[in-house]
Amino acid sequence: MFRKLPLVLAVVVILAGCKKIDPKIYSQDGPQTDGDMLIESTIGDAKNMNPALVDEVTGGDIDDLVFNGLARFNERLEAAPCLAEKWNISKDGKIITYFLRKGVKFHDGVEFTADDVLFTYKVYTDPTVNTPYGSRYQDIKTVEIMGTYEVKVTYKKPFASAITSTFDYILPKHLLEGKDINKGDFNRHPVGTGPYRFVEWKTDQKIVLEANPDYWEGKPRIKKFVMRIVPDQATEFLELLNGGIDAIGAWTHGTLTPEQFSRQLDTPKFKDYYNSYKTNELVYSYIGWNELSPLFNDKKVRQALTMSIDRQTILQNVIYGLGSICSGPFAAHPWAVNPKVSPLPFDVERAKKLFKQAGWKPGKDGILHKTIKGKDAPFKFTLMTNQGNVPREREATIVQQQLKEVGIQVEIQIVEWTTFISQYVNKKKFDAILLGWSLTPDLDADLYGNWHSSQTGEHQYNFISYKNKTVDRLLVECRRTLDLKKRQKMYWQMHSILADEQPYTFLFMPKTLVAIHKRFKGYQIDEAGIRVRPMVGTEKWYVPSTQQKYQP
């Protein structure tokens, strides 16, 4: 399960033709020429690459390059045309008519049309498809083809984030119609309309893409993209310094560790070859408490757990202050944060009182005990997290030590990424999990998939089984309220409830810490950092011919 990969994989061997260049040249620019490749890494392999099924970061990063949606986000985080050249929205917000871009082709040469939009809708609303995104389409009443390049989508009620939440990855009808979406070959050989097309996937080694020569927005200048699987952040950084990878966090959701960013970049080996960036907080780190467990189904216990954890210590000693403590799931949406809600304080004495009120009392063994279903139960649980994320492993150790001080015994279990998601998180076979959640940096904050009580199925995102009738109502009303100020008040109420009930212990929002080889030009850092999801601007990246490293 915990297989280690060799420091330098075969991918470096096959990318023959690399040449050494005086690093001083990287401070210069040059003509925007084609060629070279970008090699990044990730600590966990993808499970599959069908966007309807992807429920983890690696597969999503690949899909952002292989697929397009009808709309996407521009650099100002506004909805902008993509496969749809434009759209009209009715005054009541219930009808959206999309006018599709003509001449766009899938990677196999077949033209994209309205048939593919209708087919995509059918996939996401098919109850037999294991998609975590079906809730985004549940308020659609009809999808009608008005012509080869025109689609009318009618909603039962207005859906505030309809443009950015639905039809964000268009699937090819001609390849998937009549196939088993859950198990088909397409899941390992995706075909989209995006700037890069799939070449190969070697499990636990690498995923290779190449520039789409027929991309509607212009052929990307970077000829290939390689995502290497390096299941350890320390090894990733060594690979970066030794030239085995070109970037961390450029076209993927990767990040340098805070220690690397704070203490290991001030060397000629790094500064001569790489640029580093500290981008906005679009992720929050949390501990999710499985509310199906009798240990965590009392909000007083969850409040006490949060107040037993010194988040400021974690913030300073694990991520070196590169982030901020949070009290809710709004990392990318500051307008939705209730200004009257503050994170629960670190207060051990108050935590002990709450444990006592919830029926937990110290035993002779130093552990809290309670009678559950007629039996004496010690407060013991397993905290799970994924392999290869060094800060997360350290956070788990600090949490373990701090909860011991209040009489709770915590075992730490670290599991390989794909196994962790598929066998434990999705199946709810966990007590508590330490994870991070990455948010789309748009101007809305639709949290329905994470917090609505209907979204607790095996392939859905409410995997802690949180249920609250008021939150359910607010989530639905937020979706149907087009007025941003009215929606903001609903999110403020929701924030207050989540902060009180503590279904998660919201830890902090870390900065994304990016490193990119200096030979790459043409990108810009914006409000969302260096990448906007779905990807915008990858076709603008280039390497001047005199600085190119690989000749694939």
H or E element at residue 208: strand 206-211
pLDDT at 2: 29
Picking from 163, 208, 362, 393, the residue whose alpha carbon sits closest to that of residue 285 is: 393
Q: Do the beta carbons of residue 485 and residue 479 sit within 8 Å?
A: no
Between 506 and 5, residue with greater pLDDT: 506
Between 239 and 6, residue with greater pLDDT: 239
d(CA 305, CA 323): 22
What is the Cα Rg of the chain in Å? 24
pLDDT at 122: 98
Q: Do the beta carbons of residue 95 and residue 154 sit within 8 Å?
A: yes
pLDDT at 207: 98
Q: Residues 168-195: pLDDT tens digits?
A: 999 999 999 999 999 999 999 999 999 9
19 pLDDT exceeds 60? no
Q: Residues 478-490: pLDDT tens digits?
A: 999 988 899 999 9
529 pLDDT exceeds 90? no
User: Which tokens is 122 given?
Assistant: 């059918």
pLDDT at 14: 39
Instruction: Concatenate the DSSP letters of all residues of 499-511 into one string.
Output: HHH-SEEEEEEEP
Q: Residues 350-393: pLDDT tens digits?
A: 999 999 999 999 999 999 999 998 999 999 999 999 998 889 99
283-510 — its CATH code?
3.10.105.10
Q: Residues 290-308: pLDDT tens digits?
A: 999 999 999 999 999 999 9
pLDDT at 532: 45
4 pLDDT exceeds 60? no
551 pLDDT exceeds 80? no
Q: Residues 112-169: pLDDT tens digits?
A: 999 999 999 999 999 999 999 999 999 999 999 999 999 999 999 999 989 988 999 9
Picking from 228, 257, 72, 86, the residue whose alpha carbon sits closest to that of residue 165 is: 72
pLDDT bracket for residue 281 (50, 70, 90): low
Q: Assign 3-class secondary structure to 22-46.
A: CHHHHHCCCCCCCCCEEEEEECCCC
Q: Do the beta carbons of residue 542 and residue 32 sit within 8 Å?
A: yes
Q: Do the beta carbons of residue 296 and residue 382 sit within 8 Å?
A: no
Between 437 and 551, residue with greater pLDDT: 437
pLDDT at 411: 98
Backbone angles phi, psi at 79, to 5 degrees: -65, 130
Max mean pLDDT range (11-15, 100-104, 390-394): 100-104
Return the CATH number of 10-50+194-279+514-547, one of 3.90.1150.10, 3.40.718.10, 3.40.190.10, 3.30.360.10.
Answer: 3.40.190.10
Percent residues over pLDDT 90 in the chain: 80
211 pLDDT exceeds 50? yes
pLDDT at 220: 95
pLDDT bracket for residue 11 (50, 70, 90): very low
550 pLDDT exceeds 50? yes
Between 414 and 551, residue with greater pLDDT: 414
CATH 3.90.76.10 in the chain is located at 71-176
pLDDT at 527: 55
Mean pLDDT confidence for 380-409: 96
pLDDT bracket for residue 406 (50, 70, 90): very high
CATH 3.10.105.10 in the chain is located at 283-510
CATH 3.40.190.10 in the chain is located at 10-50+194-279+514-547
pLDDT at 332: 65
pLDDT at 28: 93
7 pLDDT exceeds 50? no
Q: Residues 21-75: pLDDT tens digits?
A: 788 999 999 999 999 999 999 999 999 999 999 988 899 999 999 999 999 887 7
Domain 71-176 has CATH 1.10.640.10: no
343 pLDDT exceeds 60? yes
pLDDT at 6: 35
Backbone angles phi, psi at 341, to 5 degrees: -100, 125
What residue has token string 């593919």?
Answer: 116
pLDDT at 552: 58
Mean pLDDT confidence for 262-280: 92
Picking from 11, 23, 211, the residue whose alpha carbon sits closest to that of residue 107 is: 211
pLDDT at 451: 96
